[in-house]
Amino acid sequence: MDNINNFKKGLRQAWSPNNLPLKSLLVVSLTWLSVQTPIQAQEVQAVKYAKPSWYFGLAGGANFNFYRGSTNQLNAGFTPPATFHEGNGTGLFIAPLLEYRPADSRWGVMLQAGYDSRKGAFDQVKTACDCPADLSTDLSYITVEPSVRFAPFKSNFYLYGGPRLAFNMDKSFTYQLGINPAFPDQAPSPAVTGEFSEIEKTILSMQIGAGYDIPLSSDSSKTQFVLSPFVSFQPYFGQNPRATETWNITTIRAGVALKLGQGKNIQEATDLAKDREVQFSVNSPSNVPGERRMTEIFPLRNYVFFNEGSTEIPNRYVLLTKNQVKDFKEDQLETFAPKNLSDRSKRQMTVYYNVLNILGDRMQKNPSSTITLVGSSNNGNTDGLTMAESVKTYLVNIFAINPTRITPKGQNKPNIPSEQPGATLELVLLREGDRRVSIESNSTDLLMEFQSGPDAPLKPVQIVASQEAPVESYVTFNNKGAGEALSSWSLQITDEQGKVQSFGPYTQDEVSIPGKTILGSRPEGDYKVKMIGQTKSGKIVEKETPVHMVLWTPAKMEEGMRYSIIYEFNTSKAISLYEKYLTEVVTPKIPVGATVIIKGHTDIIGDEVYNQDLSLARANDVKNILQSSLAKAGRNDVKFDVSGYGENENNSPFDNKTPEERFYNRTVIIDIIPAVK
């Protein structure tokens, strides 16, 4: 206790008035520390840099090559006594790389260009003398590989894919004929070296892959390094090294890329954003005409296409439940829209993917009708029959069709196949179109006018399209520079009576809002539009402008009619059924003084130039039939506008991803536009 009391007493003496020098020293010391500490903190505070958008670097790895096919005649001067089939090997891949990926985006692009070895050896084979034979190659290329990069989780993991353009460098081979093991004293034959003949100078193929970015630098470094292990798969599509025989290569590549980029000073970028201005403007068009309204007579192909390896109805077709059947109507098909269809062909494909529901509904309403389901599969009659049974099961279980009204059959090829004998190109697409179940019937209630036997198409569906406000009629708010200068911005729109509507917040530079959303039922109105934005430093920015808005109204014009004629693969002559249809159904619907717009199309199978000519030939075929029919009626008052679009996907009515879409793109579309009164 005495020690403790002495310690306390010493403290009191240190702070007593009689001991001022010590007190003054402590006060000065504390004051100096309080001032110096933030100064030192400011001196050691590290500058931070954002992630770079551009990266440069080097990628390297190993190609694991797998050979398939047949290789026998190595060149014009040497053909070994045995044919080689399979093999594998490992080759070097090394390439400089360039990468662009904005830090706030999931998307980016990559480019690699360098040395690409497809080196390997074929599996040993036996010759007629029971001697082992070996064949190896140093096949290599200069490769150029642009890719699209996608980070699905906005993380360091990414996927990429794109084309591979390869230019041949080395095409050498080494062939070695061994000795018969039964005669070990034989002298081995010398190795034969040379170059493969018929090697393609250029190869266009594809790759898909995945990688993971591992940062090697902190955000305090302007130059930032990233290490990226990656793996890619390059399938055999397009990887046929020779113009002869059937040798192809599938490659799995594994490697690592070292990348570096320059980051921007975050503080400088923020300060710059504070000072940036935005330019705000509003564009409200007076009125924009909508697309022409067309009542469409949409043809139904009597086919259900099946995926390779499956006998189940594909999920792209709309399959109802028993409870939904009572509400199903042909003129309300969009109620049962399938998923993942492109906007361009959504409405039409919705109709087609309901073909089984349309068929079931018509068979319910016409109880005497019967059908035959013919399944076609290159895997054999049994596989085709199983496909047909899948369709029958759906119609029986869901639409309660008596099973005796449906006869399933199986065969190897459809009655009108796409793959012709001797065909060698694009066989995958052709065979997708031939793997199908055909709906055949002699019941007139199910078929289109002038049906003629089991191959007649199903009765078409009539679609009355309503006009929708085109995007060009929307009110556009342009806040130029907002993406960089503002963290977010909103709109306040005030009408003449002081009623305020609020929209937002937004982060992009431009926003379009349908006029009806703002105007409601008003035909037009005067508004004050205020843009309220917040800069990245927290400052509020306001800009205001007056604007007169006009409600978009549908174009007042007489509706047109649209018909479609579907052609078989690689033909430009309408079948007799469609010729009769054009003459006796379509021609009488053409009013006096009308304009008939005829557009020919093809799918993507075949040569582009050839398809352009084919589409125009189809369009002219339809024109000649209609013109001849009109002439027989003593009419020459109709104007024709004929075009052929070939396989141009910007103008094609459908995509080309599925066999259904490709079959429908083999079409001629006929728009009948009445004369303006």
CATH number for 162:
2.40.160
Residue 75: per-residue pLDDT: 93
Residue 660: per-residue pLDDT: 84
In a domain, 277, yes or no: no
Residues 230 and 341 in one domain: no
Within 506-590, residue ranges assigned H as helices are 515-519, 576-581
* Boundary (domain end) residue, out of 264, 291, 317: 264
Residue 676: per-residue pLDDT: 72
* Boundary (domain end) residue, out of 529, 550, 571: 550
Q: Using DSSP, state whether 297 is helix, strand or coil.
A: strand
Residue 174: per-residue pLDDT: 96
Domain containing residue 667: CATH number: 3.30.1330.60
User: What are φ and ψ of residue 286, in 5° steps?
Assistant: -65, -50
pLDDT digits (tens, 9 = 90+) for 570-626: 555 545 567 888 888 899 989 999 999 999 999 888 888 988 998 999 899 999 999
Residues 457 and 476 in one domain: no
Nearest to 161 by CA among 146, 175, 172: 146
Residue 367: per-residue pLDDT: 92
Structure tokens at 550: 């006009």
In a domain, 289, yes or no: no
Residue 128: per-residue pLDDT: 85
- Mean pLDDT for all residues in the chain: 82
Residues 582 and 606 in one domain: yes
Domain containing residue 493: CATH number: 2.60.40.1220
Residue 218: per-residue pLDDT: 85
Residues of the chain with pLDDT under 50: 1-45, 269-275, 290, 339-344, 557, 574
Total domains in the chain come to: 5
Nearest to 329 by CA among 346, 349, 354: 354
pLDDT digits (tens, 9 = 90+) for 266-322: 655 444 444 467 777 877 777 655 455 667 777 778 889 999 999 999 988 989 999
Residue 266: per-residue pLDDT: 64
Q: Which domain range does residue 503 map to?
A: 470-550
Residues 90 and 171 in one domain: yes
Residues near 74 by Cβ (< 8 Å), separated by ≥ 6?
A: 80, 135, 173, 175, 194, 196, 197
DSSP assignment letter at 418: S
Inter-residue long-range contacts of 73-76, CB under 8 Å, 24+ positions, other chains counted: 73/197, 73/244, 73/245, 74/135, 74/173, 74/175, 74/194, 74/196, 74/197, 75/194, 75/195, 75/196, 75/197, 76/197
User: pTM of the full predicted structure?
Assistant: 0.45
Map tokens 């009542």 to a residue: 295
Q: Distance between CA 616 and CA 78 in Å, rounded?
A: 49
Q: Distance between CA 482 and CA 464 in Å, rounded?
A: 42
Q: Distance between CA 360 and CA 255 in Å, rounded?
A: 55
Residue 571: per-residue pLDDT: 59
